[in-house]
Structures are given as C-alpha cells and as structure tokens.
Amino acid sequence: MAHRRAGSAWPVLNAVTRELDRIARSAPSLEPVRMGRIVTCDGGLIEVSGLNAPIGTLCRAEAPSGEPVPAAEVVGFRGGRSLMMLLGDTVRLQPGALVRAEGHPGVAKVGEEYLGRAVDGQGLPIDGGPPVKARHDWLLGGRREGALERASVIEPFDCGIRAINALATMGVGQRLGVIAGSGVGKSVLLDTMVSGADCDVAVVALIGERAREVSDFVYRHMRGERKRRTVIVAVPSDHAANLRLRGAQLATSLAEYFRSQGKRVLLVMDSLTRVAHAAREIALSLGEAGAARGYPPSALATITKLIERAGNSASSGGSVTGLYSVLADGDDTSDPVVDTARAILDGHIVLSRDIAQRGHYPAIDIPSSLSRVMADVAEPAHRLHAGELRGLIAAHEANRDFLMMGAYQQGTDPQLDRALAMQEQIRTFLSQEAGKPVSLGASTAALAALMGDAAG
C-alpha cells in the first residue's frame, strides 16, 4: 500500500517540478523599464521619442483613461525617433502618451498548441477558445539557410484536383501559385485542395480576405478529424497593414516549425497579393519611393522571402508544400506581383475568366498552367498521356474563333479533328465538383483511360 501511495505521488511531483522550472525561466527582470512618448501620429504611423527599441519590437501606449490601446510595431527610425505602426486603430491615442516595449523583437511563439485553432496575426485566438500557450520561439522573418538545405522535389503531392494531379502534377515541397483575377474561383479551388491534400499538418493563412470568407472557412474545416491537423491564421482586409504582414509571417513560421519536426506541411496563403499590398503600405509610409507600378522594391522582396521559406528540409526530412493565390489586378497577368511570384515559384495554375463564364469549374487554363517539377515526380507513361492531352486542349483553344465562325474544314488538321471528337470527354475530365477532392491515383487512372480510349 505504501508503494502504491508513493507511485501515485510521482505525477504530482513531476508537475510541481516543471512549474518551478517554468517560474525560474520566466523570472521577472529587475532592470529599469525604458519608456518613450508619442510625438506625432500620421495615420497608422507614429513617432516616439526616448525609446530606442530594435526594429520588430512590439510596443504599447498607455491611455490616460486606462482603456486598452492596440500594440504598435517598430518599423524604422528617423531623426533619433522610433517609427512605429499600430496593429489597430489610432482611436484613444494622445500626444505625449507613454510607450513601453514588450516581448522579444521579431520573435513569435510556435508549437503544437496551435493545431485545431484559428488565430490572428499576433497569435491571439479568434475562435472563442482560450489563449494559445505555445512555448517555442521562432523568428518571424525566418532563419536564413544554405541553398543545399533545400532538398530536391522528387515525390508527387496529391492536391485533390483532378486536372492538376493529371496535367500539372505537384511535388512534395513545391511552391505553386494560383493566378487569376477577382471572382474567378481562386479561394474555392484552394478550399478544395486543403480538403483533399495528403499532408500531416495544414497551415492556412487568410490574409486581406473578407471576414465572411474567414468565418465560412473556419466553419468548414475546423471540425472532426481535419481540425486536429489544421491551423488557421486570419487577418481580414480591414486590419492594419503590418498586422496583415505579421499574419503571413506567423503562418510561414508555424509551417517551418512543423517541418523542423519532420512533418509534411501544406502551407496555403490566400492571398500573396494582399501581403504585397500590406508591404507596399508600410514602405510608402516610411518614405520609400514606388517603382514598378507603385510597388517599392521592398514590397516585392517581401513576397520573394516568404516564398523562399517553403520547400523540403534536408536536415529534418520534413517539407513545406506552398500554395499561394496571386490576384491579377484587372486580370493583368503582367502585374508586378504576378511577375515576381511567377519567377520564383515552382509552377503556376492560371484561372481563366472566359472559362469560368462558360460555367466550367475549376476554370483552369491548361495551356497557360505548368508545374516545373512534374518531370521529376510523374511516371513516363503519365507524362506522355499528359503531354498528348495538353496538346489537344491547346489546339482546340488556339482555333476556337475559327470553329465558332464555322471557318474550319474537317480533315485539315488531324490533331484538331481528334480534339473536336473528344471535346465532351475532355470537358468532363477537366470538370470537378467544388469541395469533392479526387485522389492522385484516381486522376492518373482517369487520364490513362481517356487517352487509351482516344488512341483506340
């Protein structure tokens, strides 16, 4: 009996020991607290004198009424004063208000505690649950690593979209962009890919989107078994620019942390263009000149850094497969953000407004879409069938106007004749009901059956 009582005391003693260790690590600092004062406020940018805090530090002003004031992030210096951008509204700010630094500059808390949770750009819960008490520190800007740390993409990734699985096959650790104008179906496509993706953890960043879309996404994905492997970081469009940027950085940091644990991570960012808009607002506020269509160089560099943080890890064996939606403003695919993203990504899926207006989902422009890693992850027979089908689709699209006018005479082009004969089968193959994923195996089998029947 005595041995049994002693054994039952061990969990309590272990818990007490862990708590004492935690208290020892978080012992309060006895150093004097430096404080500054607000000198000017111009929109969301404030100048503070007397507080020399490093860039990336979160600070908070003290309102005379005692009401909470949003945190501000140090983004630069000017004339001996710290430049800060608020993470919220400027309401209740007053000249001369005291400002103090809090937390560690440029560092976020990450960990498994985020699984099954929906948070904002500061890691604060938006799902009505308790605070997320993560314990691991991670640099928001990421850790710069050598080029050889990025292992090659050699394994296929099942994204759940039949047209992409078959004709632009993704790989584990690939960075893929979904490029389209507004209202063409980017978010719906990414939603289906999250549902059907084969991964250990899914980190979804909804940056600059409508609050209704955030609510709908949380309702659909944060339930059942799927909830246990999903993290949502959401910062709607009406939030401060630097909070939107921090949301994208926090989501990428979480993906990097899970990759360091050897997990296969799917990172979805909707949208990369809104991140670039946030970086542009910050850069212009600091006086940086606009270059490419109003985008300062630092804004375009921001999205390049975010994309480069995804990929395979040679040391941990984990991976971050990145899916980034890219909004083509005015359907202009030569927009600076689109051009920059397309140059650094490992492939892109282009959605066509013309195809969407025909009632076809997903509205993927197959000839304009490609995966730069498909040759490394797909079987030879699969690549052969995919090349044949892409050729048929391209031939039909290139001659669409002649066909509509009735100017084409059958027998002139054998490839176009074959494409015309298979139009209904091809349309059925490329169509897919929203929210109904199709596996990679089923996609390649359907492609082989389609092209086999056509050859026969």
Per-residue confidence in pLDDT tens, the chain, 456 aa: 444 444 555 556 666 666 666 665 555 555 666 788 989 888 778 899 988 888 888 888 887 666 667 788 998 888 889 999 888 877 778 888 888 888 788 889 999 999 999 999 999 999 888 999 998 999 998 887 878 888 999 999 999 999 999 999 999 999 999 998 888 888 889 888 888 888 999 999 999 888 888 888 888 888 878 888 999 999 998 888 899 999 999 999 999 999 999 999 999 998 899 999 999 998 988 888 877 778 898 899 999 999 999 999 999 999 999 999 998 877 777 788 999 999 999 999 999 998 998 888 899 999 999 999 999 999 999 999 999 999 999 998 888 877 777 777 787 888 888 988 999 999 999 999 888 889 999 999 999 999 886 554
Backbone angles phi, psi at 305, to 5 degrees: -65, -40
Query: Residue for token digits 């100048």?
Result: 47
The CA-atom distances, in angstroms, between 117 and each of 114, 196, 321, 323, 426 are: 5, 20, 20, 20, 40
- The architecture of the domain spanning 108-374 is 3-Layer(aba) Sandwich (3.40)
Q: Are 328 and 335 in contact (CB under 8 A)?
A: yes
Residue ranges covered by each domain of the chain: 35-105, 108-374, 382-453
- pLDDT at position 6 is 46
Distance, in Å, from the CA atom of 180 to the CA atom of 137, rounded to the nearest integer, reads 36
Query: From start to end of 146-291, where are the E strands?
Result: 150-151, 156-157, 170-171, 175-180, 201-207, 230-235, 264-270
Beta bridge partners, 330, equal none
Distance, in Å, from the CA atom of 258 to the CA atom of 319, rounded to the nearest integer, reads 9
Which helix or strand (DSSP H or E) is residue 61 part of? strand 58-61
Q: Are 111 and 118 in contact (CB under 8 A)?
A: no
Q: How many CB atoms lie under 10 A from the CB of residue 236?
A: 21
Backbone angles phi, psi at 127, to 5 degrees: -100, 10
Cα 43 to the chain's mean position, in Å?
Answer: 28
Which residues are within 8 A (CB) of 385 and not within 5 positions of it... i.e. 6 or more apart?
A: 166, 447, 448, 450, 451
Q: Which of 191, 190, 193 is nearest to 160 (CA)?
A: 193
Backbone angles phi, psi at 287, to 5 degrees: 95, 10
- pLDDT at position 18 is 64
Q: What is the dihedral of CA 361, 332, 194, 222, to 10 degrees?
A: -110
Distance, in Å, from the CA atom of 59 to the CA atom of 46, rounded to the nearest integer, reads 11
Let me know the angle formed at the C-alpha of 431 by 427 and 437, rounded to the nearest 5 degrees: 150
Domain 35-105, CATH number (from 3.55.40.20, 1.10.3470.10, 3.30.720.120, 2.40.30.20): 2.40.30.20
Per the structure block, which two tokens stand in for 172?
A: 């584990």
Q: Are 439 and 160 in contact (CB under 8 A)?
A: yes
> What is the CATH T-level fold of the domain 382-453, as seen in this structure?
Substrate Binding Domain Of Dnak; Chain:A; Domain 2 (1.20.1270)
Q: For the chain, how long is the longest CA-to-CA vector?
A: 97
Query: Residue for token digits 């004063």?
Result: 81
Distance, in Å, from the CA atom of 195 to the CA atom of 117, rounded to the nearest integer, reads 17
Q: Report DSSP state, residue 351.
A: B
Distance, in Å, from the CA atom of 339 to the CA atom of 262, rounded to the nearest integer, reads 32
Which helix or strand (DSSP H or E) is residue 17 part of? helix 2-25
Q: What's this model's pTM, rounded to 2 decimal places?
A: 0.87
